[in-house]
Structures are given as C-alpha cells and as structure tokens.
C-alpha cells in the first residue's frame, strides 16, 4: 500500500508519552505508534456504527418473544418428554 506523509502539530506531552512507549519497547517508532493509534480510533468508530445499526434493528422488537427464551423452553420440553 502506498505511504503518504502527513504533517501534524501535536501537544508536546503527547509526544513525550509516545516516546516513552518507544523507549520501553512497546513500539518501534513514532510512525508505528500513530498508525496503531489511528487503527484503534477507526475500529472504535466502526464498532459504534455497528452498535447503532443493531440498536435500530432491535427498536420495536422489545415485545417480541426472545429467541434465547424459545430455545431454552424447547430444551426444557424435550427434557420433560
């Protein structure tokens, strides 16, 4: 994949903390640190979108029978037979 250089201004304290992680061996360099940070950020927003879609699907189905409850009831009926 092609690499693109991005210039950003960041808080000095944030850079110091990233440098400490690099010094401790958690990351190889700042590029790896910020790439991982962006991946985590994107993953969070994608998870939030999925949660919103699931909530939209569930809305209005609160009064419908629970699938889990139906499965449990089915197993209980089998056990009684």
For the chain, the domains span 12-80
**Separation CA 46–CA 56 (nearest Å):** 15
Cβ atoms 27, 36 nearer than 8 A? yes
pLDDT bin (cut points 50, 70, 90) of residue 1 is confident
Residue 63 has pLDDT above 80, yes or no: no
Task: Mention every residue, 6+ apart, whose C-beta is less than 8 A from residue 15.
Answer: 30
Report the predicted TM-score, pTM, of the whole model to 2 decimal places: 0.64
Cβ atoms 27, 15 nearer than 8 A? no
Go through the chain and tell me how many residues it has.
81
For 26-30, the CB contacts below 8 A with 24+ separation are: none
Residue 78 has pLDDT above 80, yes or no: no
């Amino acid at each position: 994949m092609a690499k693109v250089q991005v210039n950003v201004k960041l808080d000095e304290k944030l850079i110091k903390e990233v440098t400490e992680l690099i010094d401790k061996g958690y990351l190889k360099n700042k590029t790896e640190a910020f790439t991982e940070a962006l991946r985590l950020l994107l993953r969070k927003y994608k998870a939030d979108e999925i949660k919103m879609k699931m909530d939209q699907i569930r809305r209005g189905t609160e009064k419908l029978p629970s699938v889990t409850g139906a499965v449990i009831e089915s197993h209980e009926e089998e056990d009684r037979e």
